[in-house]
A and B are shown apart, each in its own frame.
Chain A
Amino acid sequence: VELEESGGGLVQPRGSLRLSCTTSGFIFRNYEMSWVRQAPGKGLEWISYIGDSGSTIHYADSVKGRFSISRDNARKSLFLQMDSLRPEDTAVYFCARQKRGVTRFGVTGPYFDYWGQGTLVIVSS
């Protein structure tokens, strides 16, 4: 299983950027996916989720209305369109595969079982 993010870089405030996450080693269309970010020296923040078919999408309030998640199952790829960027969006952005486990108590809640190495986005003038 491999996930590789790309598309990060330096962008001015109020600018846009599109991140990509290319995957291999698993049947991409069968898995839910998320984006998680980490500001420099800070903790992890989940920002967006997309279901396996792409029909179910959720966002954290911090990015709602500015970011848009999508996927192309034929290309085994996940995307994050980021508009109206702010300095506080500066972070490493990880794509992560989600999985639900099975224990003797039943199906578990989702967890992130594979992550990419991350791509750095810097929002600064």
Chain B
Amino acid sequence: DIQMTQSPSSLSASVGDRVTITCRTSQSISNYLNWYQQKPGKDPKVLIYAASTLQSGVPSRFSGSGSATHFTLSISSLQPEDVATYYCQQSYGLPWTFGQGTKVEIK
């Protein structure tokens, strides 16, 4: 199985700050990497697919980059509504696996 390692596990930042979350994979997955946002008690929402393509309707402050084994999700200017847990997920090979999540809070 492809192992996913996200960092940090949690972070606290101020409104307006730039936030970056990292996802590393145990083997190269090209750009088969997706990012999801999950707010408490809700279902996940896809933010980014194919490492860097913004899902329709997602604010442009979210962006993704990376390839092979190193990927990042960035929020250019953190907003209160961005409080959530963020997950990376690889779709390169079965079983599809998720990172352990990064909890983002407002300072």
Interface of B is mostly: loop
Report A107-120 CB contacts with B as 1/0, cut-off 8 Å: 01111110111100
Is B69 in contact with chain A by the CB < 8 A criterion?
A: no
- Minimum CB–CB distance from B6 to chain A (whole Å) comes to 9
Contact B50 A108 (CB under 8 A): yes
Are B46 and A110 in contact, with the CB atoms below 8 A?
no
> Counting CB contacts under 8 A, is B91 at the interface?
yes
Main secondary structure of the interface of A (DSSP, over half): strand
Chain B interface size range = 20 to 34
**Is the CB–CB distance between A46 and B43 below 8 Å?**
no
Of B36, B43, B87, which contacts A116 at CB under 8 A? B43
Min CB–CB distance A104 → chain B (angstroms): 10
Nearest CB in chain B: distance from A14 CB, A: 24
Contacting residues, chain A, for B42 (C-beta < 8 A): 117
- Which residues of A are found within 8 Å of B99, using beta-carbon distances? 43
B20 interface contact, C-beta 8 A = no
Say whether A125 faces chain B, with CB atoms less than 8 Å apart.
no
Q: Which residues of A contact B92 (CB under 8 A)?
A: 109
The CA-CA distance from A113 to B100 in the complex, in Å, is 20
Cβ contact within 8 Å between B53 and A46 = no
Closest residue on chain A to residue B56 by CB atoms: A113
